[in-house]
């Protein structure tokens, strides 16, 4: 019963007002059968009271009634209704034109003549309800738009190209403090702009007058010397008379731009000292280097200064006193450097300088002079504090050609000076380090084109099931064959891919290529599980699941033959989200393995909750398993966890039969390593499968294992 009443509560409530009881009952019967809820009143006063209390969706109101007639009741209800637009329908005589006019003047929405046409009644009621809902939606949209304009500080404008007249929305003055009447012509608009912006505005608007499309500009505008920064956008009409009309919006972006400028400033400056931070300092070094490389004979010195044992001063003065000491040191540094130079706070008690000079000796002399001034006492808390420093410098072009390289060399020189108890140390030219730096730059440039030029390829390292002695899976590994350098070791380019932001694109290619290879092997009748490593950046991408699904679907690979490998430390960065993602992958039929297990920082509670199929024991615990008992204990513990959870346990880096025997005895399920085979291309994997014999078996000695070399 309660459910039925709840459903009835959602029906529209209609209020019938008529002093004639038979008419009310007839109206109620007709409307009730049409699915409406109905409330009744016998006079206008009662109707007003019910209207205020029940807020009906529509009112049917007779004109002639005792106590209060329909006209007064209608007016009072409209006053209570305010802007809601509730339909108020008057019941009038067919020839009573005056009554109809008076009804509309009182606020009626419509009228129905008597005698009532019962067939048309419900249609008129439904139409009025629908019109009322649409009216409310329009009013709500207008209220939202008005609120949006106020919040966003928006006004609208219209430019008629035929007479250069401008028309503005009523909220212009509230937005920028200028009335719409004061800018009724384009010339008035130019006059209201900041003098420095008028010429640009005229040029842009004149160009726009001759073209189509859109106009966009930011200008200073305002009154009484209070300029506001406004953004104006407009679009020209494209049909008929609209060709000579431009409609646009104006937004006050003063506060927004100030906030953006503040955010940019805070992102590039130290909050305590107001000096440049490391990011801005490196930018300034880079800009200066570009200038010097363009043809200047000057040298550039980068110095790193560390306050010796600053923590002792901090402890003695307290945190506030320590902060005050740093701000006074920063002020002195700022006073000591020239306008063309730069100073920055690059650490808690570390500062850096950039000095330009004709010669290196002169730059070093200036740097030493600055250090000498810094050793003068600082007055803090009615006492004097003397600081000591260790410092290092590096110069362009003597020591390096890159901003980051110079700063790191200066930092290294400072650390060496600190270890040797020296106040300053100049970096020494190092051809080997310079060569490595140049080489790194060349690798970086080549990596940007490697994927497009199809220089990457995959190799696969086999995995053997210790129970059956057969190869059951492979791990796919990325390789790079450069057209000039040949094979580039992964240690030289994997980290670079990550730092350059290319690892996601390359990782997606690895995923797709491994899936394609899995499909080729399946079509050839080879039952192989293919392991694919996911990079940290890939794993954190919100659309990873969709990307994996797309790669599998496009290639036609079987999800059950794909095993995704993630590192233990990666899974532990956000265990809750990792569990959710891995669960979705498992539900899609894909296998999951935790790679390099044992070297991260695991929470066993979370590990037990991870939806995984396999644990891979890192080679670090396998290499010395035959002689280090601690490694054997760890491997045994991991296999016990795997057996308890029903997981496969794969030992990596197995290179000898003795290691194989040990991990087999400790309960490991599968092994991977040079004992089975090195990483190899797909064709050699297929050849290996045809001739493979388990290492250590009686026939193993007679098998040519050259395919695994």
52 occurs within a structural domain: yes
> What whole-number distance in Å separates Cα of residue 534 and Cα of residue 504?
9
Alpha helices in 423-574 (DSSP H): 431-450, 494-499, 503-523, 536-539, 544-555, 568-571
| pLDDT tens-place string over residues 231-266 | 888 888 766 666 788 888 888 888 877 777 777 778
Task: Return the CATH number at 6.
Answer: 3.40.50.2300
In contact, 392 and 425? CB cutoff 8 Å: yes
185 and 140 within one domain: no
Pairing label, strands 378-380, 383-385: antiparallel
452 occurs within a structural domain: no
In contact, 518 and 555? CB cutoff 8 Å: yes
Residue at which a domain ends, from 258, 277, 300: 258
In contact, 598 and 634? CB cutoff 8 Å: yes
* CA-only gyration radius of the chain, Å: 40
Residue at which a domain ends, from 147, 182, 201: 147
pLDDT, residue 5, reads 44
157 and 132 within one domain: no
> What whole-number distance in Å separates Cα of residue 702 and Cα of residue 685?
19
> What whole-number distance in Å separates Cα of residue 394 and Cα of residue 363?
10
pLDDT, residue 358, reads 92
> What whole-number distance in Å separates Cα of residue 104 and Cα of residue 57?
19
451 occurs within a structural domain: no
Residue at which a domain ends, from 80, 112, 147: 147
58, β-bridge pairs: 14
For residues 120, 126, 132 and 138, what is the CA-based torsion angle, rounded to 10 degrees? -120
613 occurs within a structural domain: yes
Task: Return the CATH number at 250.
Answer: 3.30.450.20
304 and 183 within one domain: no
497 and 425 within one domain: no
In contact, 610 and 595? CB cutoff 8 Å: no
pLDDT, residue 98, reads 79
377 and 415 within one domain: yes
609 and 553 within one domain: yes
101 and 173 within one domain: no
Nearest to 564 by CA among 507, 622, 522: 507
Tokens standing for residue 248: 């646009």
Please enumerate, as own/partner, the contacts of 641-649 that have beta carbons within 8 Å and a separation of 24 or more: 641/604, 641/607, 641/615, 642/614, 642/615, 642/667, 642/669, 643/667, 645/608, 647/612, 647/613, 647/614, 647/615, 648/613, 648/614, 648/615, 649/614, 649/615, 649/616, 649/617
Tokens standing for residue 380: 């803090």
Task: Return the CATH number at 408.
Answer: 3.30.70.270
> What whole-number distance in Å separates Cα of residue 281 and Cα of residue 286?
9
- Cβ neighbors of 597 (< 8 A, separation 6 or more) are 568, 615, 616, 617, 618, 638
176 and 94 within one domain: no
406 occurs within a structural domain: yes
pTM of the model: 0.44
613 and 594 within one domain: yes
355 and 498 within one domain: no
Q: Which one-letter DSSP state was computed for residue 680?
A: B
- In this structure, what are the phi and psi dihedrals at residue 463, rounded to the nearest 5 degrees? -130, 130
263 occurs within a structural domain: no
439 occurs within a structural domain: no
Please, what's the b/e burial string for 351-383 (b: 16 or more CB within 10 A of its CB; e: otherwise)? bbbbbbbeebeebbebbeebbeebeeebebeee
449 occurs within a structural domain: no
161 and 108 within one domain: no
In contact, 621 and 635? CB cutoff 8 Å: yes
| pLDDT tens-place string over residues 468-518 | 999 999 999 999 999 988 898 887 788 778 767 788 899 999 999 999 999
**Count of structural domains, the chain:** 4
**222: containing domain:** 153-258
Which residues in the chain land under pLDDT 70?
1-10, 83, 93-96, 145-152, 222-226, 238-242, 419, 428-441, 499, 569, 573, 597-607, 698-709
479 and 505 within one domain: yes
């Amino acid at each position: 019963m309660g459910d039925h009443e709840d459903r009835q509560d959602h029906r529209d409530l209609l209020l019938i007002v008529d002093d004639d009881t038979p008419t009310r009952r007839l109206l109620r019967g007709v409307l009730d059968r049409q699915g409406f809820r109905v409330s009744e009143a016998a006079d206008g006063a009662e109707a007003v009271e019910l209207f205020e209390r029940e807020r009906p969706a529509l009112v049917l109101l007779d004109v002639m009634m005792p106590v209060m007639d329909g006209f007064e009741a209608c007016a009072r209800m409209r006053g209570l209704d305010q802007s809601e637009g509730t339909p108020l329908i008057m019941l009038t005589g067919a020839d009573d034109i005056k009554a109809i006019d008076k009804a509309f003047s009182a606020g009626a929405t419509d009228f129905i003549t008597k005698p009532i046409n019962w067939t048309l009644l419900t249609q008129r009621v439904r139409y009025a309800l629908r019109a009322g809902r649409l009216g409310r939606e329009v009013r709500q949209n207008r209220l939202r738009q008005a609120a949006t304009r106020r919040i966003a500080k928006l006004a609208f404008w219209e430019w008629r190209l035929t007479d250069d007249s401008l028309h503005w929305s009523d909220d212009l003055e509230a937005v920028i403090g200028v009335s719409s009447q004061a800018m009724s012509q384009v010339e008035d608009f130019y006059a209201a702009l900041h003098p420095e912006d008028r010429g640009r505005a005229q040029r842009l608007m004149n160009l726009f007058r001759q073209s189509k499309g859109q106009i966009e500009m930011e200008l200073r505008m305002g009154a009484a010397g209070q300029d506001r920064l406004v953004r104006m956008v407009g679009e020209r009409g494209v049909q008929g008379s609209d060709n000579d009309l431009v409609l646009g919006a104006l937004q006050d972006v003063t506060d927004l731009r100030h906030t953006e400028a503040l955010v940019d400033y805070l992102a590039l400056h130290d909050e305590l000292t107001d000096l440049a931070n490391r990011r801005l300092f490196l930018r300034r070094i880079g800009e200066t280097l570009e200038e010097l490389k363009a043809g200047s004979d000057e040298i550039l010195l980068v110095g790193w200064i560390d306050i010796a044992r600053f923590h002792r001063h901090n402890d003695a003065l307290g945190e506030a006193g320590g902060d005050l000491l740093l701000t006074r040191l920063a002020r002195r540094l700022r006073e000591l450097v020239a306008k063309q130079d730069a100073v920055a706070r690059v650490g808690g008690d570390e500062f850096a300088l950039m000095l330009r000079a004709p010669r290196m000796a002169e730059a070093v002399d200036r740097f030493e002079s600055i250090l000498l001034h810094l050793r003068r006492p600082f007055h803090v808390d009615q006492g004097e504090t003397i600081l000591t420093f260790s410092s290092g410098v590096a110069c362009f072009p003597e020591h390096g050609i890159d901003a980051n390289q110079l700063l790191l060399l200066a930092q290294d020189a400072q650390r060496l000076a600190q270890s040797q108890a020296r106040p300053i140390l100049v970096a020494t030219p190092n051809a080997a380090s310079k060569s490595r730096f140049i080489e790194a730059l060349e690798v970086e440039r080549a990596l940007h084109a490697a994927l497009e030029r199809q220089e990457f390829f995959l190799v696969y390292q086999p995995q053997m099931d210790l129970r059956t002695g057969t190869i059951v899976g492979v791990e796919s590994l990325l390789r790079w064959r450069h057209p000039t350098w040949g094979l580039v070791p992964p240690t030289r380019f994997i980290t670079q891919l990550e730092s350059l932001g290319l690892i996601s694109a390359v990782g997606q290619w690895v995923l797709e290529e491994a899936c394609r290879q899995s499909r080729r092997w399946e079509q050839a009748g080879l039952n192989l599980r293919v392991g694919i490593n996911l990079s940290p950046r890939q794993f954190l991408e919100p659309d990873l699941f969709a990307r994996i699904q797309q790669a599998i679907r496009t290639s036609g690979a079987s999800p059950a033959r794909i095993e995704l490998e993630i590192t233990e430390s990666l899974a532990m960065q956000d265990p809750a989200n990792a569990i959710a993602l891995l669960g979705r992958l498992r539900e899609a039929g894909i296998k999951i393995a935790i790679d390099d297990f044992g070297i991260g920082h695991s929470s066993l509670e979370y590990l037990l909750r991870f939806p995984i199929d396999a644990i891979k024991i890192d080679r670090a615990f396998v290499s010395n398993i035959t002689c280090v008992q601690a490694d054997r204990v760890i491997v045994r513990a991991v296999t016990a966890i795997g057996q308890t959870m029903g997981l496969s346990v794969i030992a990596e880096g197995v290179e000898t039969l003795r290691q194989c025997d040990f991990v087999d005895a400790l309960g490991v399920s599968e092994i991977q390593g040079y004992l089975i085979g090195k990483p190899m291309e797909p064709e050699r994997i297929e050849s290996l499968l045809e001739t493979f014999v388990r290492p250590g078996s009686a026939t193993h000695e007679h098998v040519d294992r050259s395919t695994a070399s």
